[in-house]
Amino acid sequence: MKGKSASLLKFQIQNLNCFFGPNQVLKNISIDILPNQILSVIGPAGSGKTSFLRTLNRLNDLFPEFRMDGKIFLDGEDIYRSNYDVVQLRRRVGMVFALPVPLPMSIYENVVYGPRLMGIRDSTRLDKIVENTLKSAFLWDEVKDRLKTSALRLSGGQQQRLCLARVLALDPEVILLDEPCSGLDPISTAKIEEALALLKTKYTIIFVTNNTKQAARIGDRTAFFLMGELIEYGPTEQLFTVPQDKRTNEYITGRFG
């Protein structure tokens, strides 16, 4: 994406190298991420996809053996500078994990948990946050009459959409999703994909998936990782129809992975 002004980018990653102890998991990654698009990140297990995702809101910092060099800019600001507000970063850059983990409380309380921590107390405003985020996650119609029931009683697909709503309730700018459909049935998967297609008008979405067909369906752009390296990155249609690297073609056609 040469020639793109930094002001037009959501994330700018430059020469990123990441290590867990002696093991290097990401090798010299440079990538520019545009706002209001879905970036699909593909590659076989162990290729560094999740580690890459977690660098974008500094979740890898929670591991004492982690270290990195290179630069990551969010809206032009270096998120790894010593005085950067990491708590604020994780509000701006929310994450949905592969395994949904609803809090052991009601559906309603799950959604308002974050806003309450941010100091929002007005019940009318909280009610609106619950309705709007559950609608955005394509869950409202299924749960609007049982908001006070335990979130643990929801199906796996519903729990995952609740976790998405919980992230949206913090009003982020970027949503990171780490294989959020890996354990879901096709109907639940389709609902999440439909929700993301609408959400990208407001958010930047970075979506890790092992399903190349899913990546092709929803991604505006796709990045292919292999053994910690970024092999290819570009418009999804181009990458899937005329890949520039032989290894990309072999992966998306199922010859390995």
Residue 113 and residue 41: Cα distance in Å, rounded?
A: 30
pLDDT tens for 89-128 read 999 999 999 999 999 999 999 999 999 999 999 999 999 9
Mean pLDDT of 239-252: 96
Helix ranges, 22-155 (H) = 49-55, 86-92, 107-117, 123-136, 140-143
Measured distance CA(84)–CA(14) in Å, rounded: 18
pLDDT tier at 256 (50, 70, 90 boundaries)? Answer: confident
- At residue 20, does pLDDT exceed 70? yes
Rounded CA-CA distance 125/142 in Å is 21
Q: Predicted confidence band at 255 (pLDDT cuts at 50, 70, 90)?
A: confident
CA distance 206 to 199: 12
Residue 40: helix, strand or coil by DSSP? strand
Distances (CA, A) of 179 to 50, 52, 100, 231: 9, 13, 11, 20
Nearest to 100 by CA among 199, 190, 188: 188
Cβ 48 vs Cβ 25: under 8 Å: yes
Encode pLDDT of 72-93 as tens digits.
999 999 999 999 999 999 999 9
pLDDT band at 175 (very low <50, low <70, confident <90, very high): very high
The answer to whether the CB of 46 falls within 8 A of the CB of 256 is: no
Would the pLDDT of 204 be above 50? yes
pLDDT tens-digit series, residues 153-174: 999 999 999 999 999 999 999 9
Q: From 3.10.310.40, 3.30.1330.40, 3.10.580.10, 3.40.50.300, which CATH number describes the 6-252 domain? A: 3.40.50.300
Domains of the chain, residue spans = 6-252
